[in-house]
A and B are shown apart, each in its own frame.
Chain A
Amino acid sequence: MTTSRRSRLREILTAYAFLLPSLVPLAVFTLYPLANSGYLSLVKWNLLSPTKQFVGAANYAAMPRDAVLHQVSTNTALYTVVVVLGGVLLGFVLALLLNRPMWLRALWRGIFFLPTVVPMAVLSAVWLWIYDPGFGLMNYALRWLGLPTSQWLHSATSALWAIILMMIWQTAGYNMVILLAGLQNVPEELYEAARLDGAGPPALLWRITVPMLSPTFLFLIIVSAIQAFRVFDPIFVMSLGTGGPANSTATLVFYLYRQAFMFFEVGYASAIAYLIVGIAVLFTLLQLWLGKRWVVYD
C-alpha cells in the first residue's frame, strides 16, 4: 500500500516536472499577456511613460467613431473573403486535376506547393517587382495580351486587389494538399455505384465529391479565414511599411502595429488586439456550429 502510494506520488511529481519547462514560458509569454492586454485596453499609455491612465471602456467606445478603423475593417473583410474563397477554389481545381495518376505528378504538386514554403517576405518582394507599373511582369503580360494595364500597388483602388491576387496564388497550394488528402478518402465504390446509375462527371462532382469533402472545405475555410484576417507581412513589405496608398492596404493587424509602435497608442492598440481575438473566437464557434449543421460526416 505504501509503495503504491509512493509510486503514485512519484508519478504526479514526474508529471509536473515534465510540464514545468513548457508551463513556465506559456504562463509568462501567453497567459499573462492575454490578461495584461485586457488591462492595457482599459488605459491610456504611450509605451514610455511610467504611469498609465485608467480610462475604463473609452478605448472600445472610440472604435465606432474611428473612420480609419472602419476603412481598415472593410479592407480586412474584403481581403479575407476573397483570398479564402479564391484560394480554396483554386486549390480545389488543382486537387481535382492532380487526383489521378499523371506523368511528373510530384513535380506539378511541388510547383503549386512552393509558394507555401518560401518566406512571405521574399514572395512580397518578388511581387513588388512583378507589380512595378513601368517594367514589371504583370503590366508586360497585360500589354502582351492586349489588355489595359494598371498602377497596381501605386493606386488606392487597385493596391489591395494586387495583394489579394498574390495571396490567392500563395495559399492555393496549401489548400490543394489538404483537399488532395480529402479526395483520397472518398470511397471509390460511391463513384462506381453512381456511374452504374448513369451519372455523368458533373453529377459525380456535385453529388459525391463536394458533399464528401464538406468537412474538409469547412475546415479549410475557417482555418484560412483565421489566418487571412491576421495578414501582416505582405501588407508591410508591399506598401513599404505604410499601409498605403491612403490606407487602402492597411488591415486590422497592420493598424494595431501602427497604433502601438508608431503612434504609441498602446491602450487603443490593445483594444484592437482584443477585437482580433474576439473575431478569431467567433470563427472557431462558427466552425463548431456549422460543423454540426450542414456538414456531411461519414
Chain B
Amino acid sequence: MTSRAAGRAAAYTAVVGLAIVFFLPFLWMFSTAVKPDAEIFTYPPRWIPSVWKLGNFTAAWTKAPFSRFFLNSVLVTAAITTLQLVTGSLAAYAFARLRFPGKSLLFLAYLSIMMLPSQVTLIPNFVTLRRLGLLNTYWALILPFTATGFGTFLIRQHFLSIPQDLFDAATVDGAGHLRMLWAIALPLARPALATFGLLTTMWHWNDFFWPLLVTSSIEMRTMPLGLVVFTHSEQGTSWNLLMAAGILTALPIVVLFLVAQRYFVQGIARVGIKG
C-alpha cells in the first residue's frame, strides 16, 4: 500500500513538474508583455515587474495597424470556414446519400487532395491569382481554400451514420434533397460540423505561409504576419511589445479552445489530422 502511495506521489510530482516546464514559455511571454522597457534586459530576469505596464498592449496594437490585421484575420477566417462548411456539406451529402456515375473515382480524388502537400500548389496558385489580378486582396487569401477534401470526408462519415428511415419518411412527405440536407442531415451532424469548423478556424487563423506569399501591403496582412513587424524591425526587437502582440494574436483562438475544448480534443483524437 505504501508503494502505491509512493507511486501516486511520483506521478503527481512528474505531472506537475512537466506542466510547469511546459507552461514556463507562456509565463515568460506574459511576464515580458507587461514589463516596462527598462526591466526587459535585467539580469537575473524579474518575473514580476515593478509595475504592470498594461499599456504595452495598446502600444503594440497601435505601433502596427493591428486593428486592421485583426479585421483581416476575422474576415478571412470566417469566410473560409463558412465556405468550407457549405461546400463540404453539399459534397458530403452527395457522397453519402446519392448514387451517380463516377462516384467512387471522385471520392478517391477528394481523399487524395486531402493528403497532398500544399507546397506543390504554391507557385501555380500564386501565378493564377496574379493573372486574375487578385494578389494582395481578400480574394487571394480566401479563394484557394473554398473547398476541403478533409471536411468533406469528415462530414460524409457522419452523414453515413444517420438511419435511412429518417430520409425515407421525408421522401414520402415529398421533400427534395436540399430540404433533407438542411432539415435532417445537418442538424444531426452538428458535432461533426462543430469539430471541423473549429479545426479549420484554428488552421486558417494561425496560417502564416500563404498570407506571407500573397499579401504585399501592410493593410492586407493578418495577425500572425503582423508579428514580423516587431521581429524584423531596424531598431532591434521590442520584446515587450512583441510578446503583447503575440498574446493578442493567440487570444481569440485560445478562448475558442477553452470554450469548445471538448470538440477540439474529440475531433483531433478521432481524425488525427492537422493542417
Contacts and interface: CB of A to CB of B under 8 A. Distances in A.
Interface of A: 11-12, 14-16, 18-19, 21-26, 28-34, 36-37, 40, 47, 93-94, 97-98, 100, 102-103, 106-123, 125-130, 132, 134-135, 137, 140, 144, 169, 172-174, 177-178, 180-181, 219-220, 223, 226-227, 230, 232-233, 236-237, 240-241, 253, 256-257, 260-261, 266, 269-270, 273-274, 276-277, 280, 284
Contacts of A116: 268
A125 B241 CA distance: 11
A19 B253 contact: no
A30 B117 contact: no
A117 B22 contact: no
Contact of B22 (A14, A115, A128): A115
Given A18-B91, A19-B94, A233-B209, A29 B41 contact: no
B116 A30 contact: yes
B100 A15 contact: yes
A37 B120 contact: yes
Given A36-B124, A135-B43, A240-B232, A117 B253 contact: yes
A94 B21 CA distance: 13
Contact of A110 (B42, B224, B253, B261): B261
B269 A137 contact: no
Contacts of B208: 119-121, 232-233, 236-237
Interface stretch (B12-20, B49-57, B160-168, B188-196): B12-20
B231 A128 contact: yes
Contacts of B99: 11-12, 15
A33 B18 CA distance: 44
A253 B249 CA distance: 25
Contacts of B253: 117-119
Contacts of B176: 14
A230 B116 CA distance: 12
Given A12-B100, A122-B246, A230-B117, A273 B23 contact: no
6 contacts: A18-B91, A23-B91, A34-B116, A36-B124, A220-B272, A257-B209
A106 B264 CA distance: 13
B45 A137 contact: yes
A121 B272 contact: no
Top 9 nearest A-B pairs (CB, nearest first) are: A33-B124, A22-B147, A121-B224, A33-B121, A15-B100, A25-B146, A181-B269, A119-B206, A36-B124
B101 to A, nearest CB: 7
B120 A276 contact: yes
Contacts of A236: 208-209, 212
Nearest to B177: A14
A16 B100 contact: yes
Contact of B120 (A16, A33, A223): A33
B23 A111 contact: yes
Chain A contact residues, majority secondary structure: helix
B70 interface: no
Interface string B236-275: 0101001100110110011001100100110011101110
A140 B213 contact: no
Given A34-B120, A256-B119, A137 B28 contact: yes
Interface in B99-117: 99-101, 103, 106, 109-110, 113, 115-117
B120 A274 contact: yes
A179 B175 CA distance: 44
Contact of B15 (A30, A98, A110): A98
Contacts of A19: 90-91, 94, 106
Nearest to A121: B224
Interface centre among B237, B258, B272 (most CB of A within 10 A): B272
A25 B25 contact: no
Contacts of A36: 124, 127
B56 to A, nearest CB: 14
B81 interface: no
B123 A260 contact: yes
Contact of B119 (A109, A112, A276): A276
A47 B129 CA distance: 13
Contact of B125 (A18, A29, A219): A29
Contacts of A134: 41
B141 interface: no
B254 A117 contact: yes
B37 to A, nearest CB: 13
B98 A18 contact: yes
Nearest to B246: A122
A18 B94 contact: yes
Interface string B82-95: 00001110110110
B272 A114 contact: no
B249 A119 contact: yes
A26 B113 contact: yes
Interface centre among A98, A173, A223, A237 (most CB of B within 10 A): A237
B21 to A, nearest CB: 9
Nearest to B223: A119
B231 A97 contact: no
B187 interface: no
